[in-house]
Amino acid sequence: FEPEIPTPPMITGQGDVDELFDVKNAYYIGSYQQCINEAQKVKPSSPEKEIERDMFLYRAYIAQRKYAVVLDDIKANSPPELQAVKMFAEYLSSESKRDVIVADLDKKMAKSVDAANTTFLLMAASIYHHEMNTDAALRALHQGESLECMAMTIQVLLSLDRVDLARKELKKMQEQDEDATLTQLATAWVNIAVGGEKLQDAYYIFQEMSDKYSSTLLLLNGQAACYMAQNKWEEAEGVLQEALDKDSSHPETLINLIVLTQHLGKAPEVTSRYLSQLKDAHRAHPFLKDYLAKENEFDRLAMQYAPTATA
Amino acid sequence: MLTKFETKSARVKGLSFHPKRPWVLASLHNGVIQLWDYRMCTLIDKFDEHDGPVRGIDFHKQQPLFVSGGDDYKIKVGLLTMKIVKIYNNENEWSALISYVSYFFLLCSVLTGHNHYVMCAQFHPSEDLVVSGSLDQTVRVWDISGLRKKNLSPGAVETEVRGISGVDLFGASDAVVKHVLEGHDRGVNWAAFHPTMPLIVSGADDRQVKIWRMNESKAWELDTCRGHYNNVSCAIFHPRQELILSNSEDKSIRVWDMSKRTGVQTFRRDHDRFWVLGAHPNLNLFAAGHDSGMIVFKLERERPAYAVHGNMLYYVKDRFLRQLDFNSSKDTAVMQLRSGSKFPVFSMSYNPAENAVLLCTRATNLENSTYDLYSIPKESDSQNPDAPEGKRSSGLTAVWVARNRFAVLDRMHSLLIKNLKNEIVKKVQVPSCEEIFYAGTGSLLLRDADGVTLFDVQQKRSLATVKISKVKYVVWSADTSHVALLAKHAIMICNRKLESLCNIHENIRVKSGAWDESGVFIYTTSNHIKYALTSGDHGIIRTLDLPIYVTRVRGNSVYCLDRECRPRVLTIDPTEYRFKLALVNRKYDEVLHMVRNAKLVGQSIIAYLQKKGYPEVALHFVKDEKTRFSLALECGNIEVALEAAKALDERSCWERLGEAALLQGHHQVVEMCYQRTKNFDKLTFLYLITGNLAKLRKMMKIAEIRKDMSGHYQAALYLGDVSERVRILKNCGQKSLAYLTAATHGLDEEAEALKETFDPEKETVPEVDPNAQLLQPPPPINPLDTNWPLLTVSKGFFEGAIAAKGKAGQMAADLDMDTSGGEGWGDDAELQLDEDGFVDAPEGLGEEGLGKEEGGGWDVEEDLDLPPELDVPVGAGGGTEDGFFVPPTKGTSPTQMWCNNSQLPVDHILAGSFETAMRLLHDQVGVVDFGPYKSLFMQTLSRGRTSYLGLPSLPCLRGHPQRNWKDCGAKQGLPAVGLRLSDLISRLQQCYQLTTAGRFEDAVERFRVILLSVPLLVVDNKQEIAEVSNKYLTGLYTERKKLPKDTLEQQKRLCEMAAYFTHCNLQPVHMVLVLRTALNLFFKLRNFKTAAGFARRLLELGPKPDVAQQTRKILAACEKNLTDAHQLNYDPHNPFDLCAASYVPLYRGRPVEKCPLSGACYCPPYKGQICRVTQATEIGKDVIGLRVSPLQFR
């Protein structure tokens, strides 16, 4: 229940409107180009807002894998928030430097961290999450109080299969702002993990967002995940087809299509085609890493078996 | 009370509605009678026949007549004039007229008994009664049956006018007073019967309205309605509802509840006293006459509250919420509404996600309006639907803004956001607003006095505004990309950003609208169905007799609700708007199709096309050459214009064509035009600029013949022909010019000759300019034969389509032939599948599979002991006491649950637990070589997890589809399998086809994959598939062993193999092939007896006629000599299995080893080896057996 805040007389006609709403919203629902466009359009009212705007702008570039833009644009004298974004961009852009960056980050985290720099916490947690160091990620996020920190906490908890804790965290988010885009999205993630009747709720959340803003790969794959969890394969096909039309080599779409085509009973060749596409375009994707590991495991295990007699 | 129409005139004393047409007659105090169309709001006619006030007026129920009575003691019968109705020439005209007149005589004259003026008299609608009211303070009921008996003429059919043909109208005994109703203290102004019940209502100068009841013997006062504070001038019963309407000189109209005798509504006027009331016989319309005119009104809105979602219409009718399925036309009551409001439901908002509705009810005093939030019961008995408890709150309007949120405009005109529990979640400050409308998730349309604003509820800000006054309804297209804003007399179509796309004004009220699936807005006014394209084109589709409310448009059907709230479907012809839409969207193939196939009306469409800039399309409609010509010119189609010009052959056409062609550089056409119009000058110049010297010279000749000196000279000048010029000048007497020309151009001889002719005395020889230069047009390098090069403009669709028409037809024909060939092929394949006994099998099994679902509960009971360490450590981690953060430990993933909950190998593979999966496969079906299983494992694994994105740039989240997702809870999950028996069977069919095609290696490979997939099924046990595949594989292996045929031994072996193959369990179609092979081989080997056996078996299968014939021949040949030349290891009569390794028959009773998965048989020495069929399992291994269903673990 949100406390009622008396709205001051409307001078600007905007009330308590977040001037960066469109920028943030576009970013969270995965509409990165729109986020960049909006960020370039908006005129921030204060230097703080400007930094915040830039933060989302560069993160949108990162999400588009355009790391060079970020690395070139953010200079040594840029504010600390943006330095954090740059660190994350560096981490993602080169595999070879990752160990150095993580070691450096560890050192920073060991010292006392400026908890007000939420961006730094988020970026640190993102790196740790990529490193599968969920403890460190959660520890970092624990210091922040923003909605996004909570959302990321939920995502990490879900990757740990701790739905119970994720729900608790979600409750906190809902108390802070139930209607915020991030809260809605986090609700959907948790609902998918909970399963059962909640799946339909999750679906509606994604559906509502794509109705209201625009349908994005993020939202479409969310919808597909809901459909598939409900064994609604035909419906999922439509959604994934739309996603495929938007980007034919989007890794999550391909992964979901690999699942879907098999459930639809398509010929095995169709499935392997998507797998090859995925191998072609996203060799480093965690799904493929898992996949290769499993292949090796298979070979190892298979050696334990042999016929009693040979021909 | 809703005013539909108002007039201004002198005092209105009498009123009458036409029973069918939208007309009302008003008789005025000044003697004039007016006929109004209240729907179009126009005065149709005026009759000025009376002197002084006209107090009585009535339409004839069937004829185009009306009657009026005035203070001038005259009754006049008016004939509605020809401009309104068709010519009135009924043969009964006169009798009807007479009887009608007499009816009014009666009213005015016969009633003797009142002691004062009779103010009003009315017939009873069905009985022979008359009621009258008089200033003697009484109401009297008269029995007029005597009159009726007496005057009933044999031919009278007009029962409505009571069949009285006036003869003796003034006989006093014909109307007998039946009841005298005393009770009013002053003069009675009006008395009227109830249409069905024995009731009378009266209004008097004592300011009271009285209700009376009567029976055969007596009549008595029932009750009095008090409230008017001046003389009651008129009182009537509502024709269909339990209401009384009265009006008075106190300037008010009042509505009374008949049973409670209390006032329901009051309608006041500032300055005008009311005098008379009229009710429409069929519609819910009333009219009231006052001092300065008349109003036509209705008591309440007749618009049903409805909402459309997908294929469903929800609407309110008689206190029920009903649901209509557009597809099946199934109309059911889904719930009963809570009663308690005397007002009908005003509007509805439906929420498909929660299956909930918001029903808004408007009170007369807006501030008392309420809304109800109902959750629609999931299942309901249509005969006696549930009446769920709704949540009622006050508020003007309530509209859903999200799955679990709705917005309420409260009476203070501020906006509240509420949740499903009807609790306020937040208050939103909004710009001034008097109404809210749905605008998609999270948004609302706010209406203020002069515009509509799109408002984002979450961000609390206005996104866009459009100016349009008093929007009443809002209709969104299905994809919410467009919205139609409907006001009383205007429609505006906007896009999602509320940018106005078009604006339409209507003279008649706009009622409703819906978007059709192609994005055309179909709307209704009071009397039309119309369309509007987003581009602004609009027009009439058809007329309507009564207003309807469109709910949905699909194809030719307009689904609507009428005023009685009955769902109806009207048919419309969408051709016109489809055509225009196709044009606007440049879908020329559709346009062309319609041009060719639809009957589009000529001139208007052509004019439309021309106006809208589509002359090239119009060109295809037009047959008239003249129009065709001008259209062709308009779109620059010279070829078509030329054709038309040739047909017309008019000078003006050629001239216009010439101009157009010149602009396009079509000089050959230009030439033709100039030739046709004999425009020699232009033609000459054309030849000059195109360098056509030969023709230019010809032109010169022509000019000479035509004696056109100037033209001749000009041509010579163009040609640079100096001597010709000199000659022309000389001939026309321009001697000095001729001399100068000759001299200048160095034609000395000529010059001299000319000089001679000068008369030195009278004429001077002109000086030759020494600086003169030879002026010559430059000679053309190449004459221009072709037209000027044009830019390659892609041909318009239409030109192309028209040109291609011929060709396309041919191609289609070719294609048809091809496809028919293909079908022939397909037919065979079909046949083969039909013969297949296995095709039927899966259905039965599918059912068993379903049965198994229920058996899921068994898993619960079976409940494996979970290793304690797998249990979620409760409370460990996640705690944040005192800011000290302990990272949580990992939870139990759904995949771990899967392994715990199932012993089926596939569940373990899906969970990624290969080790246990292999163990299970090994134990169950004896797999010892997992090589062939690798791709199956990996594929299966890859379908166990979906992925979805959380925050950007983070590793994605994983979803785990489960087959028992509905009721598995947190711990009982089992993965969705994704491999269905039906899929395997359809893949099996493909293998059969491959076999038929002779692609054995492919077929074998695929058969094996299918076979190996069998243990990965989750169904009830399905051994057959394994068996089928097994037999095939053995057989195909045999075929593959292509032995050399050199020696007799080898030939014998080949024959044996062929013979064995005939004993594999094959599809009939394949069996035919196999038998033929065997038959031929044995026949060649001269083993006639066995061959004959094959031949008979072959014939039993009913092969194709030619094969059958050949087989019969061979059989006949064999039967002549029923012996076998060679001894083979083949006994067709003794049942045997084939060893899949050595391909020797294993006759029944001999020791045999089987493969645990495929069931293939082997000679005992092969025990322990890898099965040849599966290449994965061990022959003769001792196993548990195939486990593909949880039922097997019971």
**Contact flag A294-B941 (C-beta cutoff 8 Å):** yes
Q: Closest Cα partner for B69 from B58, B80, B79? A: B58
Please indicate whether residue B1141 or residue B1034 has the higher confidence score (pLDDT): B1141
- In sequence order, the 6+-apart residues with CB closer than 8 A to the CB of A93 are A67, A68, A71
Chain B partners within 8 Å of A231 (Cβ): 961, 963, 965, 976
Cβ atoms < 10 Å from Cβ of B106 = 24
For residue A218, give the chain B residue with the closest CA.
B949
CB B433 within 8 A of CB B416: no
Chain B partners within 8 Å of A272 (Cβ): 939
For residue B936, give the chain A residue with the closest CA.
A268
Chain A partners within 8 Å of B987 (Cβ): 267
CA angle, residues B897, B902, B904, in degrees to nearest 5: 135
- Interval B815-858: pLDDT, tens: 333 333 333 333 333 333 333 333 333 333 333 333 333 333 33
Please indicate whether residue B151 or residue B976 has the higher confidence score (pLDDT): B976
Chain A partners within 8 Å of B963 (Cβ): 231
Chain B partners within 8 Å of A222 (Cβ): 948-949
Q: Is beta strand B345-351 parallel, antiparallel or unpaired with respect to B252-257?
A: unpaired
Q: Closest Cα partner for B304 from B568, B564, B1, B484? A: B564
Residue B291 CA to chain centroid, in angstroms?
A: 51
For residue A154, give the chain B residue with the closest CA.
B950
DSSP per residue, A129-148: HHTT-HHHHHHHHHT--SHH
**Contact flag B950-A189 (C-beta cutoff 8 Å):** yes
Instruction: Classify B797 as helix, strand or coil.
Output: helix
Most confident of A6-15, B375-384, B756-765, B1011-1020: B375-384
3-state secondary structure B345-377: EEEEEEECCCCEEEEEECCCCHHHCEEEEEECC
Assigned token pair, B660 = 């157009």
For residue A9, give the chain B residue with the closest CA.
B429
Task: Give the separation between CA B286 and CA B295, rounded to whole angstroms.
Answer: 8
**Contact flag A60-B949 (C-beta cutoff 8 Å):** no
CB B26 within 8 A of CB B7: yes
> Which of B298-312, B574-588, B927-941 is predicted least confidently?
B574-588
φ, ψ of residue B642 to 5 degrees: the values are -60, -45
Chain B partners within 8 Å of A55 (Cβ): none
Beta bridge partners of residue B70, listed in sequence order: B54
**Contact flag A286-B955 (C-beta cutoff 8 Å):** yes
- Most A CBs within 10 A among B925, B936, B942, hence the mutation to make, goes to B942
A295 touching B (Cβ < 8 Å): yes
Task: Give the separation between CA B116 and CA B187, rounded to whole angstroms.
Answer: 9
**Contact flag B429-A7 (C-beta cutoff 8 Å):** yes
**Contact flag B440-A212 (C-beta cutoff 8 Å):** yes
> Which A residues, 221 through 240, put their C-beta within 8 Å of a C-beta on chain B?
221-222, 224-226, 228-231
- How far is CA B178 from each of CA A299, B117, B141, B657, rounded to the nearest angstrom? 111, 19, 5, 92
Task: Give the separation between CA B750 and CA B16, rounded to whole angstroms.
Answer: 108
**Contact flag A307-B1168 (C-beta cutoff 8 Å):** yes
Chain B partners within 8 Å of A258 (Cβ): 942-943
Q: Closest Cα partner for A53 from A92, A17, A76, A19? A: A19
Q: How close B939 comes to chain A (CA, Å)?
A: 8
Nearest to A305 among B922, B962, B965 (CB): B922
Q: What is the pLDDT of residue B1029?
A: 52
- Interval B486-501: pLDDT, tens: 998 899 999 888 888 8
Cβ-Cβ contacts under 8 Å between A and B: the total is 269
Q: Measured on CA atoms in the order B463, B468, B470, B476, is the torsion positive or negative?
A: negative
For residue B975, give the chain A residue with the closest CA.
A229
**Contact flag B958-A159 (C-beta cutoff 8 Å):** yes
pLDDT band, very low/low/confident/very high, at B1085 (cuts 50, 70, 90):
confident
Q: What is the pLDDT of residue B336?
A: 86
Nearest to A17 among B423, B459, B930 (CB): B459
Please indicate whether residue B784 or residue B468 has the higher confidence score (pLDDT): B468
For residue B1180, give the chain A residue with the closest CA.
A308
CB B724 within 8 A of CB B716: yes
Q: Closest Cα partner for B944 from B914, B903, B987? A: B914
Assigned token pair, B537 = 């084109």
- How far is CA B873 from each of CA A142, B869, B1170, rounded to the nearest angstrom? 21, 8, 46
- How far is CA B354 from each of CA A213, B381, B403, B405, B419, rounded to the nearest angstrom? 22, 20, 7, 11, 12
Q: What is the pLDDT of residue B830?
A: 35
**Contact flag A189-B973 (C-beta cutoff 8 Å):** no
- Average pLDDT estimate for B205-215: 91
> Which of A70-79, B432-441, B970-979 is predicted least confidently?
B970-979
Please indicate whether residue B399 or residue B85 has the higher confidence score (pLDDT): B399
Count of H helices and E strands in chain A? 17, 0
Task: Give the separation between CA B670 and CA B652, rounded to whole angstroms.
Answer: 14
Rounded to a whole number of angstroms, the distance between the first and last alpha carbons of chain B is 73
**Contact flag B965-A229 (C-beta cutoff 8 Å):** yes
Q: What is the pLDDT of residue B1027?
A: 54
**Contact flag A231-B927 (C-beta cutoff 8 Å):** no
A93 touching B (Cβ < 8 Å): no
Q: Measured on CA atoms in the order A48, A170, A236, B329, is the torsion positive or negative?
A: negative
CB B50 within 8 A of CB B59: no
Q: What is the mean pLDDT of chain B?
A: 77
Task: Give the separation between CA B275 and CA B248, rounded to whole angstroms.
Answer: 7
**Contact flag B982-A189 (C-beta cutoff 8 Å):** no
**Contact flag A28-B934 (C-beta cutoff 8 Å):** no
Q: Closest Cα partner for B1064 from B1090, B1024, B1028? A: B1028
Q: Measured on CA atoms in the order B754, B759, B763, B769, is the torsion positive or negative?
A: positive
Rounded to a whole number of angstroms, the distance between the first and last alpha carbons of chain A is 76
Q: How close B477 comes to chain A (CA, Å)?
A: 13
Q: Is the pLDDT score of B1145 beyond 50?
A: yes
A265 touching B (Cβ < 8 Å): yes
Assigned token pair, B54 = 């006209």
Chain A partners within 8 Å of B429 (Cβ): 7, 10, 15
Task: Give the separation between CA B523 and CA B473, rounded to whole angstroms.
Answer: 12
Chain A partners within 8 Å of B892 (Cβ): 161
pLDDT band, very low/low/confident/very high, at A155 (cuts 50, 70, 90):
very high
> Which of A134-138, B651-655, B1043-1047, B1111-1115 is predicted least confidently?
B1043-1047
Residue B536 CA to chain centroid, in angstroms?
A: 20
DSSP per residue, B659-714: HHHHHHT-HHHHHHHHHHTT-HHHHHHHHHHTT-HHHHHHHHHHHHHTT-HHHHHH
A12 touching B (Cβ < 8 Å): no
Nearest to A305 among B918, B939, B970 (CB): B918
For residue B496, give the chain A residue with the closest CA.
A212
Please indicate whether residue B31 or residue B875 has the higher confidence score (pLDDT): B31
> Which A residues, 29 through 88, put their C-beta within 8 Å of a C-beta on chain B?
30, 32, 59-60, 62-63, 88
- Interval B73-122: pLDDT, tens: 666 666 654 333 333 333 344 444 444 444 444 444 455 667 777 777 77
Assigned token pair, B501 = 């796309």
Q: What is the pLDDT of residue B804?
A: 46
Q: Is the pLDDT score of B1035 beyond 60?
A: no
A24 touching B (Cβ < 8 Å): no
Q: Closest Cα partner for B501 from B473, B468, B528? A: B468
A284 touching B (Cβ < 8 Å): no
pLDDT band, very low/low/confident/very high, at B1019 (cuts 50, 70, 90):
low
The b-or-e profile of B713-740 (16+ CB within 10 A means b, else e) is bbbbbbbbbbebbbbbbbeeebbebbbb
- Average pLDDT estimate for B845-872: 37
State what percent of residues in chain B have pLDDT above 90.
11
Chain A partners within 8 Å of B461 (Cβ): 13-15, 17
Q: What is the pLDDT of residue B350?
A: 92
State what percent of residues in chain B have pLDDT above 70.
79
- Interval B874-905: pLDDT, tens: 433 334 444 567 778 888 888 888 888 888 88
pLDDT band, very low/low/confident/very high, at A5 (cuts 50, 70, 90):
very low
A286 touching B (Cβ < 8 Å): yes
Q: Is the pLDDT score of B158 beyond 70?
A: no
Task: Give the separation between CA B1036 and CA B1033, rounded to whole angstroms.
Answer: 5
> Which of B28-32, B353-357, B496-500, B1014-1018 is predicted least confidently?
B1014-1018
Reported pTM: 0.60
Q: What is the pLDDT of residue B819?
A: 35
- How far is CA B851 from each of CA B840, B846, B861, B1014, rounded to the nearest angstrom? 18, 9, 17, 19
Residue B201 CA to chain centroid, in angstroms?
A: 52
- Interval A289-311: pLDDT, tens: 889 999 999 998 888 888 877 76
Q: What is the pLDDT of residue B864?
A: 38
Q: Closest Cα partner for B41 from B11, B2, B7? A: B7
Q: How close B1069 comes to chain A (CA, Å)?
A: 25
Task: Give the separation between CA B909 and CA B940, rounded to whole angstroms.
Answer: 7
Beta strands of B51-187 (E only): which ranges?
Answer: 54-59, 65-70, 75-79, 118-123, 129-134, 138-143, 176-182
CB A99 within 8 A of CB A131: no
Nearest to B953 among A59, A142, A208 (CB): A59
**Contact flag B918-A301 (C-beta cutoff 8 Å):** yes
Task: Give the separation between CA B70 and CA A95, rounded to whole angstroms.
Answer: 105
Q: Closest Cα partner for B246 from B206, B275, B282? A: B275
Length of chain B: 1194
pLDDT band, very low/low/confident/very high, at B1050 (cuts 50, 70, 90):
low
Q: How close B891 comes to chain A (CA, Å)?
A: 5
**Contact flag A162-B986 (C-beta cutoff 8 Å):** no
- Average pLDDT estimate for A219-228: 94
pLDDT band, very low/low/confident/very high, at A236 (cuts 50, 70, 90):
very high
